[in-house]
Structure 1
Amino acid sequence: MGIEIEKIRGLFPVLHQEVHGKPLIYFDNAATTQKPQAVLDALTNYYEKDNSNIHRGAHALADRATRYFEEARETIQHFINARESAEVIFTKGTTESINLVASTFGRKFIEKGDEIIISTLEHHSNIVPWQMLCEEKGAILKIIPINDAGEILFDEFEKLLSAKTKLVSIVHASNALGTINPVKKVIAAAHAVGAKVLLDGAQSTSHLTIDVQDLDCDFMAFSAHKLYGPTGLGVLYGKREVLESMPPYQGGGEMIKEVTFEKTTYNEIPFKFEAGTPNIGDVIAFKAAIDFINQIGKETIKAHEDELLSYASEQLSQIKGFFPVGTAAEKVSVLSFNINAMHPYDVGMMLDANGIAVRTGHHCTQPLMKRLGLEGTVRASFSVYNSKSEIEKLAEGVSRIARIKNK
């Protein structure tokens, strides 16, 4: 069953507007996806009918809010196929999830001379926390190199592994290039030397079917706002045995069992890592986003997005001056490119004048851009509500811009 594109688009209010007098074409999905009406309704409904703090209230509103909140946790458990809902921790986003691991697992288990491995493809949020930890602990950060297509060199990764490797933290799918890394092989190789593995799933959870048990990752971090859900909300998945070995991330309410001035006893997971009042309304709305994905089907969405990526690559490759960046054999629906020697920002501004929203710049991957010898790229990223006719308009816009430069 394919995508009924007009029906799907009708579910997203934000898409039905004009920008600079032109119908909006939204190709900035790798940065954030738009939200279906069901997500907006779930958020409004919580604040209109169920607004209350959770877990400790003895009244009806608290009971309902708690039930809906924990139902959302269970929905996410099944979405990634975690063994139990207690392995799902709510955070502010992928960035906080990674920082949580760096600040808890890292500070407890990483020692002077230990090694952490990341890749050249990483987002800054999967670079800086490890640099900070290495500086604090005297550990060593090692980098997996890539080829010119934007694929990691697995043989080189294997050479980096040793008994000193304590953690491998790697992006599942690159936000800048769309490259899908061979993470199952990475995880198996890392586990063979006793290292734990964290996957940055900010992009992969949007496009790929995720099974954390099959992958066997120790951690996975992802964000709601790239999954048709609210901003400011994310998830850290962790294996129970690893989470239980880690100290709390923050102190406060909810993460405790008992507090005295002499000693505090910490709560069980996941609550040990969820200090304070959580983002209740957005968690409940995130469930509506996952329900939306499940109703269409992850495989159906992926097939549609793959078709869009293939069509866009074909259409734009015919344009003189078009230069694709990131040509990995396995990709999610991200097309990064440059036009002649034009600055990406200028291209983005000219496309915006035609109502076409793309992302420009280094995409928070400055080391990757340096490796590729680029200041940045133009990035068009596709989602379930995008169409081939929109891609044709993108190709028309890029073609006009390229002709200007070629004159």
Structure 2
Amino acid sequence: MNTLDDLRSTLHRHADELDDVERYVRPVAVRARIRVVRRRRATVGAVVAALVLVAGLAGAGTVLRGSDGIDPADRVVAGVTVPDRVTAQGRTYELESLADLTAEETHVDPAEHPQAVILAARGLGDGMATLYSQGEPVGRVRGDEQVSAPIDLGEAGVDLEVRFDGAGPSARAGVAVYEATDDIPAGMGDQHAVFRGEVAGATLVASGFSSPGETSVELQFSSRGGRLRFVFYCSSEADDLLLNVSIDGKDSMASGCGDSGPDAGTGSSGTTRVPAGEHEVVAYLTHGDHGPQVTATEETVFGLGVYDPPAPGPRVLGTRVESQVEYAGRDWVFDRVLAAPATIDTKDGDVLLGFVGSGRRLGVTWSGRLTHGESTQVESARTVSQSDGGLLLAGDRYDVAITGGEGMLLVYRPE
């Protein structure tokens, strides 16, 4: 293998051999990581990098930096009492600052750890308040709900805006900003990342990370037989590395090596069946498909997690879909399949939209009374399963269509 094109061909060939049921959610995580990296780069060298919370009405600006601003012990914003800590995907977040967005602009500095936010609102009557991040709707409070579910913000600053719809003049809204603690989620990890003990209903069976000087990661475990999910972790600046996985002495799957995030259990993966009994799994890096093995260093780290997944969802157009997924800090469970085009009513709560189909430039569009969006198109002539993470917020009706091909829609609801 001498070129990147050769490496791409190799990865496609290995992918064809896998029952990879998670392809429809992976682009969501990839795009989220790209947004975080871009925001981190944008803050390099800045004297002050701010998280800007923009209210619907202009007003006097206030600067909040953790407990130096509004005292988190008060735990009241826009007249709503919020919790002093929340949990999301196994991590604990503690309250850092409060900001009333009803009539003023507020600046909150980004944090060194991941952040989450809760939208709080009261006096909405029959109306609603919607929180936007970077111009995209991420959370909503309706009627007398008062608080939203925790919304993942990442580590860097973002622009947030609250908009009211159908609410009276007494409506108020604000946010509670939380920062993750140093406590890592339950699971197996090192200084680089952690394989959480449970990810979207899948239970960790075995995992390991490389140490400097090692050429492989070896795992031994016992299985009752059936489907197992193998999750790859690889972080390196080299662009021609391939992470290989051998199951019981047989090379079974491979993945490219990029910049895996700290939540290793959500990385790229493949699912395959194994018989009951004892098993040995070896993960190792090579330069390309047939190149020499690579020795781990402080800068090049790789690992593998083995998970026992929950019972799968149905087969849709020949593709087995997941019964549970994670997105935006929440767990979602499979609800139903719809033929496209379709109208989805979210009066009962938020919906996560996915799809399965085939086409050379496959995508999805959705349009409601308040918000609209479209997926990144998938360039593939084969049957694929993919989701753009289309978050359809509660309290609206959305017209949804598949573009560039034909397919079926997948509907997930919060667990």
Q: Return the structure number with greater helix share.
A: 1
| Shorter-normalised TM range | under 0.3
Please report the TM-score for the alignment, with normalisation by the length of structure 2: 0.27
Please report the TM-score for the alignment, with normalisation by the length of structure 1: 0.27
Question: Taking CA–CA contacts closer than 8 Å with sequence separation of 6 or more, which of the two structures ends up with the larger relative contact order?
Answer: 1
Q: Return the structure number with greater strand share.
A: 2
